[in-house]
Structure formats: C-alpha cells, structure tokens
Structure 1
Amino acid sequence: MEAVKQSESGEILPGAIFEVRDSSQNLVKRVVTDRSGHIAIDNLAPGDYSLTEVRAPRGYIKNTDPVLFTIPDEFAGDPGVMELDPLVNYKGTVELVKKNDSGNTLAGATFDLYKEDGTIVEQNLTTNQSGEIEVANLSPGKYYFMETKAPKGYQLNATKIPFEIVNEAAGKPERIELTAVNEAEENVPPITPPSGHGGETSQNGGPDSSDPLTTSSAGSDVQANKLPETGDSNATLWLILTGILLASLGGMMILRDATKKKIIRI
C-alpha cells in the first residue's frame, strides 16, 4: 500500500506520522512520510485496515479522519500496489466581520493580526465593502486582531479580538467567524428632524406646553383678551365719585372765603 501526504493546495508534506491498525485495532506498523511526502507499507495480510495520522506535518492541523482500506483475499494475477487517495492536511481560516451597533456592516476598518505572544502575522488588513476580512493558511495556535483604524465616523475599538486555530480536526476544519463592533463618534451632530409649520403641537392639537416661546405667546394673548372683573369696575366708579366730591367741597370753600372778604370791605 502506498500514499502521498500533501496540503490542500497540493504541496508535498514530509514528516507526517501514521499508524496502521487491523480490524481488531492492533497496531500493525507506524510510518513517516519522507521528503517526497510518500509512505509505503509492505507485506500486509488480507484483511481490513485503518491508516490514522498521529502527528501532522509542522504548521498543519492534524487530520484525525482515519483512512480505511482492504487487502483482498485474492487477486487475478499480481496484486500489484494499492495506491490510496492523497492524504490531505489543512491550515486554518478566519473571517472577521465589522459592524456598527445597529448590525450594519462597515467597510474601511483596518486591523493587524498577531500571535498570542505579540508576534505580528499580517498588517493593514482592511474590511471590504461587505465589512469582511478573511485570513487563510494559519497554523494551529492562538491569535488576536487589533483595530488600528476605525471606519469614518466611528470610534476606534481598541479591544483585542482573540481566536484559536485548533491542533486537530476530522477532515477540513470549519472557518472561524468573528464579529467586531464600532460605536459612532460622540461628536457627530445628531440628525435634526424637519420642523413643522407654526411650531410643534401637542397630541391634543394645541401648542406644545414644553415650548417656552409658544407658552409665552399664548399667555400674552390670554392677558390681552382678558375682560375686567366686576370688582375692578366698582373700584373705578368709587374713585371717580370721590374725586367729584372732593372737587365740590374745594369749590364751596373757595366761594365761602370770597364771600367773607366782600362782607368785611362793606
């Protein structure tokens, strides 16, 4: 039996270790891919076998999917060499989506990608029109994104965005999906709603009592249209009568003094 170890893109991978086990899970043989990524196992008795990876090539995710094969009891002629399909190892992929706090995607955010120890992996990764960044071919390990430039009109989010590429997976690993959120800048002026004709009105159709200009104007109109009370009219009448009475008394006193002077002269 022969097989070749390779990457998803077809790159030959040496250094992968496999175990061959029979149907009773007894270890039959352990093999390592050579520089050409090749393994060969000879002298296998007829029966069912499994080929399982126990160590991945450096920088790759271990593929835990066993490869099953059978050595038949008989062949017509020379059995020859059984060749298995290529044995594939994968690396990790991560997708980061940038959104605002309303859930809308944001283009133009820039990130750097680091390993857990602070080693830079990639710089100036910018979200596309769909708000996405995708990074592939990541070796197993822990990583984090750091935002270096926020989308226009939004605050920079300086929080680390961590994730991990697992050491092993059954077949092709799933893509890691992350979401990062930006909040709008505080100094962005709010949108002013269009004003209505003649000022806003309350729900009952009258002027809005919270508007000081409307309230003041309404109060002035009420005062201008206010009629005098009955008490106010009586007070004015008494003032007029008192004035007439005082004037009459004053005139009588002047007339009396003039009469006295005439009598003295005679």
Structure 2
Amino acid sequence: NANGQLTVSDLVPGNYYFVETKAPDGYQLDKDQQYPVTVAFNQQAPATVNVTDSQTPGSVKLTKVDEQTNQTLSGASFALYKQDGTLIKNDLVTNNQGQILYDNLMPGNYYFI
C-alpha cells in the first residue's frame, strides 16, 4: 500500500518466505534475498517481515563550454556540494572533453562551484 505495507491473510500454519520482485522507483532490487516468516497454529498477532531497500546511486556530468565559441574547455576546476552546503568533492577538473563525471551519488540535489 502507500505506506509500504503488505498484508497476506488466511495462511495456514507453516513456514513461508517473501521474495521482492520489483523495487520502488529509485531503489535497488535485491532479487536473491528471501525473507522468511513463520505462521504458528492459533497465532493471534500478525507475523511481521521487515524489508529494507537501498536507494539507487546516480551520477552527474558537468560540461564546461566557452561562452563565445561554444567549445568545451579542459582544465577547469570545480567543487561538488550537496544542496545543504556539504562538500562532496573538491578539485574536480574537466577532462580533455571539458567534462567532469562524478558517480555513486545518492538521490538528492547537488551543485558545482
């Protein structure tokens, strides 16, 4: 449901397991993970399984371009920050194509200076 909860009713007593077949958008699917649950005879309270997903990391690409010639510029230095001002990486330098590619960023807002 909207709260990330799933209810399965009328299971006979026994051992079961859940397998996540699709992760929510922006999250990584751990397709090989099984989550066991046991339903006991005369069990009153629902059996509970907690599943956690990791957010999918992304990347950012900056391209430095000359304002007049529109040609890419190598050797320009930048720093990458989170939206809250936390420094992620300093001394990032554009390559011979005028680009900086930074991988493995968690979802969020970032900026270059």
The TM-score normalised by the length of structure 2 is 0.57
1:96 aligns with 2:76: no
Aligned equivalents of 2:22 and 2:99: distance in 1?
A: 36
CA distance in 1, matches of 2:82, 2:17: 45
Q: Aligned-pair distance for 1:89?
A: 5.4
The corresponding residue for 1:42 is 16
Distance in 2 (alpha carbons) for counterparts of 1:28 and 1:52:
18
Secondary structure of the structure 1 residue equivalent to 2:89: strand
* Structure 1 residues 1-266: aligned runs within 5 Å: 27-28=7-8, 42=16, 51-53=21-23, 61-63=26-28, 90-101=56-67, 102-146=69-113
* Residue type of the alignment partner of 1:123: N
| Cα distance between partner residues in 2 of 1:116 and 1:89 | 18
Counterpart in the other structure of 1:195: none
Rounded Cα–Cα distance in structure 2 between residues aligned with 1:93 and 1:142: 11
CA distance in 1, matches of 2:17, 2:102: 44
What is the SS of the residue equivalent to 2:109?
Answer: strand
- CA RMSD for the aligned pairs? 3.5
Q: Which has the higher contact order (CA 8 A, sep 6+)?
A: 2
Can you list the C-alpha shifts for 1:24-53, whole angstroms capped at 9, x where unaligned? Answer: xxx439xxxxxxxxxxx8268xxxx97343
Q: Secondary structure at the match of 1:114?
A: strand
Q: Tell me the distance in 1 between the aligned counterparts of 2:112 and 2:74.
A: 16
- CA pair 28-124 structure 1, distance change in 2 beyond 3 A: same
* Dislocated runs of 4+, deviation >2 Å: 49-54, 87-90
- Contact map agreement 1:19 1:53 (CA 8 A) in 2: no
Q: Identity of aligned pairs, percent?
A: 34
Aligned equivalents of 2:5 and 2:93: distance in 1?
43
TM-score normalised by L of structure 1 = 0.26
Q: Partner amino acid for 2:8?
A: V
* Equivalent-residue separation in structure 1 for 2:95 and 2:82 (angstroms): 23
What amino acid maps onto 1:91 in structure 2?
P
User: Higher helix proportion, which one?
Assistant: 1
Following TM superposition, by how much is the alpha carbon of 1:120 offset from its aligned partner in structure 2, in angstroms? Answer: 0.5
Q: Which runs of 5+ in 1 are unaligned?
A: 1-17, 21-26, 30-40, 68-86, 147-266
Higher Cα radius of gyration: 1
1:140 positional shift: 1.4
The number of aligned residues is 82
Q: Tell me what 1:202 maps to.
A: none
